[in-house]
Structure formats: structure tokens, C-alpha cells
Amino acid sequence: MNIFLKRVTRFVKSASVLLVALSAVGGLAQAQDYPNKSISLIVGFPPGGSNDIVARLFAPKLTELLGQSVVVVNKSGSNGLIGTDFVVKAAPDGYVITFASASPLVISPHTFPKIPFNTLKDLVGITTVAQTPELLAIHPSVPAKSLKELIELSKTRRVTISSSGSGGLPHLAIELLRGAAGSGDIVHVPYKGAGPAIADLLGAHVDGIIVDLPPLYPLVQDGRLRAVAITNTQRAVLLPDTLTSVEQGYPEILAFNWFGVMAPAKTPQPIVDKLYAALIRAANSPDLIEAMRKVGVEPFVQSSPKAFGEFLQKETDRWGVVARASGAKSD
């Protein structure tokens, strides 16, 4: 009986090794032929927001590098979760990938009561490609020109600050602002995307907004909005005269957004490696860097897909602390 069991064990081990080898060979063959059709780059937010803006800058360059069309597809809703979940459920063949940011990937797990996927288990990270600071901007009719003046104003009347949605990075940035304001009356007003939030701010239906810099920059430039603070440690190249939150004495108000590309779990490693190589080349290309900087975005890449996985874990832990301390939740 023992001899029989040993033979069965050896057979199972041999079969397992064979399956792994066949899988590797299959993945390699699949990667050699990849891509042979168009690739869908899923953005979980509506057109007009920073995710969409940056994704549409990358798509033509990736099309050029990969030799197949890379098409941006907007699947918005639930602060990016609907689009991300769509990618989680897609075939792991590299033809449906997500262009996502901090909110759905590392913040929503802490602010939504339940999400349909686990970022660290159901997706494979390829790399981050870019980053941008959050900008606090207000309607010109609001009598404040600095963080201190805005906080002081909130102690005399209610100040409404909009965001692109509950439970995301801008929402947590607003919670940091509320914490810094102490007894001030600052109210978070969530919208379904940066576009609607900006539209209502331009109409003076809210006092201010915190979202990524790209969609706000043109409006600050033409005077329709007033920049109050860059929520980062360094000033933005596009707004050199706008002080950071740190410079204004509020180091606790720190938030920057990053953009990364992920694929469904079990995507063959050779395909991940091919996408990684293309994304790094794209992010480091002088023409794309110039285009990104024109909208307030800087290149931000990882040394490997593995390094991106480690970065995701650290970001998940970091924002978990902020979410629990503020009690921020999604609708």
C-alpha cells in the first residue's frame, strides 16, 4: 500500500510540474503573438477627469509601441469601482486592462462597505505611469486667498467643498482639510465625477473643490477659479506661484494622485512584461512627458511589476490609516 501511495505521489508531482511547464510554454507562445488585436484601456471615471485625460495621452503612444490600437473606454461609476471590476472579470489575456488611480485601487477598500474585488489578489500590477497633486481651488466670489483665510472663513459661515465622489482620494483630502479646520464648518459635497463637480463650482453652487490638478488648471489660468493650495510638499510646475499646504503651515493636508495600469489576475507573465516595457518607454518618451507636463502631470514609474505590487501594499496601508481616523465612507 505504501509503495502504491508513493507511486501516486510521484505521479501527481510529475503531473504538476508538467502542467506548470505547459502553462509557461503556453504563456510564452501567447505573448509572442501579443497583441494581435486592439486593446481596451478601461477608465473607471467619466470623460474630463484626470484619469481620462492622462489615459488619452498614453493611448496613442502605446498604439505606436505595441503595433495595435489601444482604445480608451470609459466605464464610470462608484468612484472607479465599476470599471475596475469589469477588468477583474475580463479574460486574463492582456486585451482588457485598467488605467486606474489611487481611489478605486487602494482607498475604496477602506471607505466602501463592500467591494466586489480584492486589488492585491484579483489584479496584477504592471506599473504606475504618472502622478499629479491635488489642488484646492475656490470660486472667485469666495473671500479667501489662502488656506488660512479659507479656514478662518469656515469659522464664520459654512464652506462647501466638492469632490469627484464619496470615498475617494479627493474626499479624504477634504477630510484632512476639515481636520485642520478644527471648529470650522467645512462640508464635503460629492459628485459623480470631476466634470459635474467642476461645473457646479463654476456656477457658484459650491464654494470650492479638491480634485487632481489637470482638469482645474485651465480654469485657474483663465481666472474662472482661484487656486488656494497644492496639497503636496512641492509646488506644481504649472502653478509656480501657488503655495503648497506645507508652506502655508498645514503639513497634515497632504494628498497626491498616481495612475497605474493593471491587468486581470493570471495574465501570463510574458504579457505583463511586454506591457510593462511598452508603458515604461511611453512614460519616458520626451513628447509624452511634454504633453503630460502641459496638464500638470509628471512621469512616475516603478522599477518592475513586483515593485508596483509592493507600492500598492504600502499605499493600501497608508490610506487605511487616514480613512479610519476620519471615518470617511462612500455613499
CA 196 to chain centre: 19
Residues 207 and 176 in one domain: yes
pTM above 0.75, yes or no: yes
Residues 115 and 161 in one domain: no
Around Cβ 217, how many Cβ atoms within 10 Å?
Answer: 22
What does the alpha-carbon distance between residue 45 and residue 50 come to, in Å, rounded to a whole number?
9
Residues 35 and 61 in one domain: yes
Residues 93 and 143 in one domain: no
Cα torsion through 234, 43, 58, 52, rounded to 10 = -60
Give me the average pLDDT of each 10-residue run along the chain (331 residues).
59 55 55 92 89 95 98 91 96 97 92 92 97 96 97 97 90 94 95 89 98 92 97 91 97 93 98 98 97 91 97 93 87 68
User: What CATH number should be reported for the domain holding residue 316?
Assistant: 3.40.190.150
Q: Yes or no: say if 303 and 283 are a contact pair by the CB < 8 Å rule.
A: no
Q: Give the pLDDT score at 5.
A: 56
User: What CATH number should be reported for the domain holding residue 225?
Assistant: 3.40.190.10
Residues 299 and 218 in one domain: no
| Amino acid found at 138 | I
Around Cβ 97, how many Cβ atoms within 10 Å?
Answer: 26
Which of these, 292, 241, 287, lies nearest to 135 by C-alpha position? 241
Number of domains in the chain: 2
| Amino acid found at 313 | Q
Q: Give the pLDDT score at 329.
A: 84
Residues 105 and 179 in one domain: no
Q: Give the pLDDT score at 31.
A: 72
Q: Give the pLDDT score at 2.
A: 59
Query: Does a structural domain hold residue 195?
Result: yes
Residues 138 and 226 in one domain: yes
Query: Does a structural domain hold residue 237?
Result: no
Q: Yes or no: say if 320 and 107 are a contact pair by the CB < 8 Å rule.
A: no
Task: Determine the structural domain holding residue 296 and report its residue range.
Answer: 29-132+256-326
Q: How many residues does the structure list for the chain?
A: 331
Residues 261 and 315 in one domain: yes
- Which of 230, 264, 288 is the endpoint of a domain? 230
Residue 17: which residues within 8 A CB-CB, separation 6 or more? Answer: none
Look up residue 266 and give its three cell numbers.
493570471
